[in-house]
Amino acid sequence: MTDQPELTVVIPAFNEEANLRPMFDRLVAVLEPEVDGLEIIFIDDGSSDGTWSGISDLAAIDDRVRGVRFARNFGHQAAVTAGVDVARGRAVVLIDADLQDPPEIIPEMINKWRDGFEVVFAQREGREGETLFKKATAALFYRLLHRVTEVDIPVDTGDFRLMGPRALEAFRALPERNRFIRGLVSWIGFPQTAVRYRREARHAGDTKYPFRKMLRFALDALTSFSFLPLRVATFLGFAASAFSFLYILVVLVLKAVGISWLGYTSLMASILFLGGVQLIMIGVLGEYIARIFDEVKRRPLYLVGDSTDGTVQVVPPDRPNL
């Protein structure tokens, strides 16, 4: 027997001090009888409350708990990546710190993994305690994404999922910085399956995803998994050219027969319309170029300020250059 734990639970936490202890208690209660060796990793994503001291306290009383503290807030997806990077377990479960995703369904995920599935994602059947706006935008976003992406990203799934050893190896090798994790995990393939659950209300605190972060997240998802926005630009270009060609013919014919009543109004309308469309399409190009720039800089995805066992390096090892 090696001392490799069977399961690592990775929990990104950004100002979640009031959720740490309940999370830990519920995880241990559910998983202790289920798995052969457990590891719990909290990633403190630059919190400004007592999250880090809470994590340190848990690590001090229970050596299954490890904590990593970022040098600043690098974002949810970076925190999850760091957790996967340092996890020692054979399988890894990703779960949010706020107990919206009930740890009680993890045993069901483990059973599916033992049955041979490499990725088991949790699919929401409903959400509680979230605003109508959040529910509506989320529903729209997942359906749009499902339609426009080449990989089959299942609807209504978050990052709450289990990954087996082969999926972890593949995931750790992915080099990109703009990480839309649920998309990447779908992209790697392997046998994948779902377990269904109801998303609960947050245990304590407020959402750490204000509208601004949600929008950025949605743009990352679209641009990393779809060229549709670029194709729309090409299509609009062709449509506008075809229309202008016909319109020019009409204007010329009218001119030839001596009618030229078209003037200021139509001129302004077409200039303003085309100007607007062009600016939007330059913006679309810009979204892709900004991400290319971000990738080629090859800055590390996160920096580690501290870790409870002192083993985690400040700069994460470079991902293989594929």
Closer CB to ligand UDP, residue 64 or residue 124? 124
CB-count burial class (<10 Å; 0-12, 13-18, 19+) for 91: buried
Among residues 8, 16, 156, 184, the one that binds ligand UDP under rule CB under 6 A: 16
Please state the closest distance from residue 205 (CB atom) to Mg ion, in A. 9
Task: Check binding of 117 to ligand UDP (CB under 6 A).
Answer: no
Per the DSSP assignment, residues forming a β-bridge with 39 are 8
- Could you tell me which of 288, 305, 295, 301 has the C-alpha nearest to residue 76? 301
What residues from 43 to 72 belong to the interface with ligand UDP (CB under 6 A)?
45
Please state the closest distance from residue 206 (CB atom) to ligand UDP, in A. 7
Among residues 15, 19, 77, 100, the one that binds Mg ion under rule CB under 5 A: 100
Please state the closest distance from residue 213 (CB atom) to Mg ion, in A. 12
Among residues 190, 197, 209, 227, the one that binds ligand UDP under rule CB under 6 A: 209
- Report DSSP state, residue 90: S
Task: Check binding of 220 to ligand UDP (CB under 6 A).
Answer: no
Please state the closest distance from residue 97 (CB atom) to ligand UDP, in A. 4
Helices (H), 42-131: 51-61, 76-86, 106-114
Closer CB to Mg ion, residue 210 or residue 317? 210
User: Which residue type occupies 286?
Assistant: G
Task: Check binding of 81 to Mg ion (CB under 5 A).
Answer: no
Task: Check binding of 96 to ligand UDP (CB under 6 A).
Answer: yes
Task: Check binding of 76 to ligand UDP (CB under 6 A).
Answer: yes
DSSP 154-200: PTTEEEEEEE-HHHHHHHHH---SS--HHHHHHHH-SSEEEEEEEE-
Distances (CA, A) of 128 to 63, 99, 196, 207, 215: 34, 12, 15, 13, 22
Give the one entry of ligand UDP, Mg ion, none that residue 13 binds, where binding means its C-beta sits below a cut-off of 5 to 8 angstroms depending on kind: ligand UDP
- For strands 91-94 and 119-127, give the pairing: unpaired
Binding site for Mg ion (CB under 5 A): 96, 98, 100
Binding site for ligand UDP (CB under 6 A): 12-14, 16, 45, 73, 75-76, 79, 96-98, 100, 207-209
